[in-house]
Amino acid sequence: MPDVRARYPELIRLGSTADDPPVIIGQACGACGRRSFPPDPYGCEACGAAVDRLTSTELAAVGVIHAVATVHRHHHPRPETPFTVATIVLDDGVTLKGVLTGDTSAVGVGSRVRGVTVPWDTDDDGTEVVDLRFETVGGEG
Amino acid sequence: MGRNLLAERPTYVVGIGLHRYQHKTDTTYVQLGLTAVRAALADAGITWPDVETAYTGTALLGMGASRIMLSRLGATGIPMAQVENASASGSTAVAQACLDVASGRTDVALALGVDKPRGGLPMAPSEAGISNLEGGTVVPFTHFALLASEYMAAHGVTAEQVAGVALKNHRNGARNPFAQRQQERSMEEIMADPISGSMSRLQCCPVGEGASAVIIASDEGIDRLGIDRSRAVRVLASATRSEGLYPPGVGIDAALTVETAQAAFDQAGVGPLDMDVLEVHDAFSIEELLYTEALGFCEPGQAAFLVESGHFDLGGRCAVSPSGGLLAMGHPIGPTGTGQVAEVTRQLRGEAGDRQQPGAHLGLTHMVGVGAVCVVHVLESPRG
């Protein structure tokens, strides 16, 4: 198996096997308990605690779609248009935006999704770079 | 709490002037700005040496924009500074000019907004070293397409109802000689050319160049310079807030507007239903719905139906975006906020011609700047 890394390794921990789901790296404040994403190198927006009180915490990449939009115009060649983005409320309580993959024709507000990785690029040394996408949960139960 | 300076020392808009908003041309920013300031001075019936302090709202011009421009009216040596607050830069220039006058530091102040589009300008938030998973896929039109998706799902609203904002605002803009888009559009035209989600090209504002200027004065300034009181529009409130932390699922842009509007209405001693005319930050059609609701004009989910019924048309209960708003008048960034104050002033004077809201007595301006910040002003007609 070739070496694999996440496109944003500071935000994603890949599973140890291909079937192991990726995990989102969030942050927890040791002073007020707030959980947030993305990780912040400066301090806590809720209570003002300095960064030394903030610790890394793992968030399961599963949640519910809160809003969805198919993008027709994009100023970069990738992802190719049209692609679909969603606002996702993770079961762990954090809201983030992500790109969907797979069949999005039936996706709507309230759909359950989970994180998966897709090929993004290959580094010069042959390392495969993968990026996080979300796909609807279902079909396989 | 500090003092309510605008209640202690009456402060007025006494002059307005604009350079049309338009696609980028070879016209220099200096020429754009001077056109607006000269028009505002003529409108107030005063001369440049009467102006005691100047603020230039600009986000795109770079360092040191004011003096090279304003000194061409005469190098009077007055204090001047650039004001940057993203899309709310012009609004913040107005806020600073009002603060100067209301505090008693000066009797006559200029707020000018001027900008020209420029690619490749650094955005400070993207230099903060905080990464995200989006990888550039969620640009502003998609952020607002997602809010439209949420709004439509929550309230049973159709994409056409959201687009009704653009239909109305293009109709208004067609009557505004300073608007970048001066063409009435059909619903079919509005819905064509999808950009992201239900947001189509004509539901996204054009970002061009232009300028707008407002002159702020005190009673003493008005009396000393012989300014026409029957055209002086009082500033009842000037409120600025920045984004707080809101519960999961609460829309940041709307929640920030709720707080800023409350601060403004508290200063002014009036409420949303007293307003006759509004200029809101409709950079994308969905925003006007969210903000009219957040400003307190109706309950969440109702604005789309009220737009459809003509409630917010010129001649309706409260005219929203009579200038054409950002969608039709345009959003040249620096000038947008000063231009809103110019439009509401024109409406409250009863000088808006074929886009006049009948009997307009109280008006409100509202801008949001990326970051996010929100700036609201409340204005009162010369009839008092």
Whether the model pTM is above 0.90:
yes
Nearest-neighbour CA in chain A from B275: distance (Å): 32
Confidence of residue A17 (pLDDT cuts 50, 70, 90): confident
Tell me whether residue B156 is in a domain.
no
Quick count: other Cβ atoms within 10 Å of Cβ B132? Answer: 16
The encoded tokens of residue B297 equal 């004009």
Confidence of residue A139 (pLDDT cuts 50, 70, 90): very low
Q: Which of B129, B131, B138 sits opposite A97 (nearest CB)?
A: B138
Cβ contact A71–B245 (<8 Å)? no
The separation between CA B80 and the C-alpha centre of its own chain, rounded to angstroms, equals 21
Element (H, E) at B327: helix B325-328
Residues in A lying within 8 Å of B, measured between beta carbons: 7-8, 10-12, 24, 38-41, 45-46, 66-76, 79, 83, 85-87, 89, 93-99, 108-110, 131-132
Angle (CA) B113 B284 B13, round 5° = 30
Q: Which of A67, A75, A131 sits opposite B147 (nearest CB)?
A: A67
Which range marks the domain in which residue A135 is found?
61-141
Tell me whether residue B126 is in a domain.
no
Give the CATH number of the domain where residue A131 resides: 2.40.50
Nearest-neighbour CA in chain B from A40: distance (Å): 6
pLDDT less than 50: residues of chain B: none
Is the ipTM higher than 0.90? The answer is: yes
- pLDDT at position B48 is 98
Q: Give A33's contacts (C-beta < 8 A, 6+ positions apart).
A: none
Residue of A nearest to B133 (CA): A98
Tell me whether residue B69 is in a domain.
yes
Q: How far apart are CA B312 and CA B322, in angstroms?
A: 9
Interface test with A, best of B133, B139, B157, B284 (most A CBs within 10 A): B133
- pLDDT at position B129 is 86
pLDDT in tens, A94-125: 999 999 999 998 899 999 999 999 999 999 99
- pLDDT at position A141 is 36
Residue of B nearest to A86 (CA): B146
Tell me whether residue A9 is in a domain.
no
pLDDT in tens, B219-275: 999 999 999 999 999 999 999 999 999 887 788 889 999 999 999 999 999 999 999
Residue of B nearest to A82 (CA): B196
Nearest-neighbour CA in chain A from B202: distance (Å): 14
Tokens 């940041």, located at residue: B252
B150 has a chain A CB within 8 A of its CB: yes
Asked if pLDDT for residue A1 goes beyond 60, the answer is no
Q: How many domains does chain B have?
A: 1
Tell me whether residue B150 is in a domain.
no
Tell me whether residue A100 is in a domain.
yes
Q: How many domains does chain A have?
A: 1
- pLDDT at position A140 is 41
B134 has a chain A CB within 8 A of its CB: yes
- Find chain B residues with C-beta within 8 A of A10's C-beta: 131
Tell me whether residue A135 is in a domain.
yes
Which range marks the domain in which residue B232 is found?
5-118+206-380
Tokens 């915490």, located at residue: A57
Tell me whether residue B82 is in a domain.
yes
Mean pLDDT of chain A: 92
Asked if pLDDT for residue A8 goes beyond 60, the answer is yes
Tell me whether residue A42 is in a domain.
no
Residues B119 and B224: beta-carbon distance below 8 Å? no
Cβ contact A131–B135 (<8 Å)? yes
pLDDT in tens, A37-59: 999 999 999 999 999 999 999 99
What value does the CA radius of gyration of chain B take, rounded to a whole number of Å? 19
- Find chain A residues with C-beta within 8 A of B136's C-beta: 75-76
Give the CATH number of the domain where residue B351 resides: 3.40.47.10
Tell me whether residue B254 is in a domain.
yes
